[in-house]
């Protein structure tokens, strides 16, 4: 098991002991707005499980303050998400809101949370705006941004054997944001984009697009697909025979642990960029993977690591404030939080409050009977440009 103090190593400077108000000694309430139904149900469950594992490991207590989590299902609906987050703040009196998975939901609740007396720690959605033009003093993100998930690896691909790609991404705001981040970095590194294709989000059949990828004359394809789209695209890319002539590149979400079991051998050889791989060799990560497997009988995805790290970041901030949930003190404490996470070094950007972290170039290989992501290269200390 990961030791609490080893993971919760914080900045040397700590805040002064706070004045204790009568209400401040009650439980620290964390409201988890996470999809429990619909297309993001598995992702939401992974984040929730990661948080539950972390809270269990610290004994549901940090800074002398008990920790209680309350989960609400946003039903993958911005309207429902806003209703649920208002309930978490106004009825449940939550001190911190975490989640959601969907970027559309994150943006829908941002205006309300900006004025709310709480901390908003995004443990899911990667939409850039949340820590750019929509950022607020009480907003933090412990997951990753769209830029971090696509741009850093783009330069590595351009300089390491893939000077020309065909680009394909799901036709929705998240897909276009990811494609734009990849394109800007890839072109800046000297790469050439042969064609761009945008199939509908939720597509069942990619047969109209696969011949166009083949005819583009590129040695590789860069794809942004997630969830069920990722499973179907990777399977059909293999079935159509494209793997024989083209390397499949993309965002790491495309071949994460939530998709790999269904993709199987079809995913072999895919190279992607992401902030995490469950094969990272650090002792912190080995302990996390072992604990997660023991509790849930499966390997953790990056989403489970989102939740695990988010919960530890909250606990680390509470250690600094000695349990005080005052918003200003928690904001100051979160800016100081630093620790070695399963993904590697973790801290928040003091300006944008987005996470600063390593990005890994990974390749899907067989490990015994199962496909896994093996790390090929580390791109350290990646800060979203804000």
pLDDT band at 336 (very low <50, low <70, confident <90, very high): very high
Q: Which two tokens stand for residue 328?
A: 């200003």
Is pLDDT above 70 for 76?
A: yes
CATH superfamily of 147-274+360-382: Response regulator (3.40.50.2300)
Among residues 140, 103, 87, which one has the least CA distance to residue 316? Answer: 140
What's the CATH fold of domain 4-144+280-353? Rossmann fold (3.40.50)
The pLDDT of residue 20: 34
pTM: 0.92
Q: Which two tokens stand for residue 144?
A: 């990753």
- pLDDT tens readout for residues 176-213: 999 999 999 999 999 999 999 999 988 999 999 999 99
Radius of gyration of the chain (CA): 20
> Which distant-in-sequence residues (6+ apart) come within 8 Å of 300 by Cβ?
46, 50, 257, 278, 288, 289, 292, 293, 308, 342
Is pLDDT above 80 for 1?
A: no
The pLDDT of residue 38: 82
Task: Give the β-pairing of 370-382 and 355-367.
Answer: antiparallel
In the chain, where the domains are located? 4-144+280-353, 147-274+360-382
Q: Which two tokens stand for residue 73?
A: 């299902």
pLDDT band at 7 (very low <50, low <70, confident <90, very high): low
Domains 4-144+280-353 and 147-274+360-382 belong to one CATH topology: yes
């Amino acid at each position: 098991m990961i030791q609490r103090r080893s993971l919760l190593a914080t900045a040397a400077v700590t805040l002064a002991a706070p004045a204790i108000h009568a209400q401040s000694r009650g439980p620290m309430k964390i409201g988890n707005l996470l999809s429990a139904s619909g297309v993001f149900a598995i992702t939401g469950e992974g984040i929730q499980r990661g948080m539950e594992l972390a809270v269990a490991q610290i004994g549901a207590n940090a800074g002398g303050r008990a920790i209680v989590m309350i989960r609400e299902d946003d039903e993958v609906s911005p309207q429902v998400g806003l209703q649920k987050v208002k309930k978490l703040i106004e009825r449940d009196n939550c001190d911190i809101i975490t989640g959601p998975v969907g970027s559309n939901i994150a943006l829908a609740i941002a205006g309300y949370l900006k004025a709310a007396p709480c901390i908003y720690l995004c443990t899911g959605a990667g939409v850039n705006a949340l820590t750019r033009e929509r950022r607020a003093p009480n907003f933090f993100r412990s997951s990753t941004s769209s830029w971090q998930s696509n741009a850093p690896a783009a330069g590595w691909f351009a300089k390491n054997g893939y000077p020309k790609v065909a680009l394909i991404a799901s036709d929705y705001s998240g897909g276009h944001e990811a494609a734009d981040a990849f394109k800007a970095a890839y072109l800046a590194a000297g790469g050439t984009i042969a064609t761009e294709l945008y199939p509908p989000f939720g597509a069942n059949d990619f047969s109209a697009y696969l011949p166009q990828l083949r005819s583009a004359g590129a040695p590789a394809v860069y794809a942004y697909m997630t969830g069920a789209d990722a499973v179907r695209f990777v399977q059909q890319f293999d079935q159509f025979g494209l793997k024989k002539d083209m390397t499949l590149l993309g965002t790491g979400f495309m071949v994460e642990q939530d998709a790999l079991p269904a993709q199987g051998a079809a995913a072999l050889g895919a190279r992607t960029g992401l902030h995490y791989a469950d094969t990272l060799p650090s002792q912190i990560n080995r302990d996390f993977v072992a604990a997660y497997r023991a509790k849930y009988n499966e390997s953790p995805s990056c989403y489970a690591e989102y939740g695990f790290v988010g919960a530890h970041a909250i606990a680390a901030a509470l250690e600094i404030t000695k349990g005080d949930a005052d918003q200003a003190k928690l904001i100051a404490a979160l800016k100081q939080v630093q620790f070695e996470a399963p993904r590697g070094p973790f801290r928040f950007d003091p300006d944008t409050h987005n996470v600063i972290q390593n990005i890994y170039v990974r390749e899907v290989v067989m490990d015994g009977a199962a496909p896994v992501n093996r790390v090929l290269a580390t791109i350290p200390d990646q800060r979203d440009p804000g």
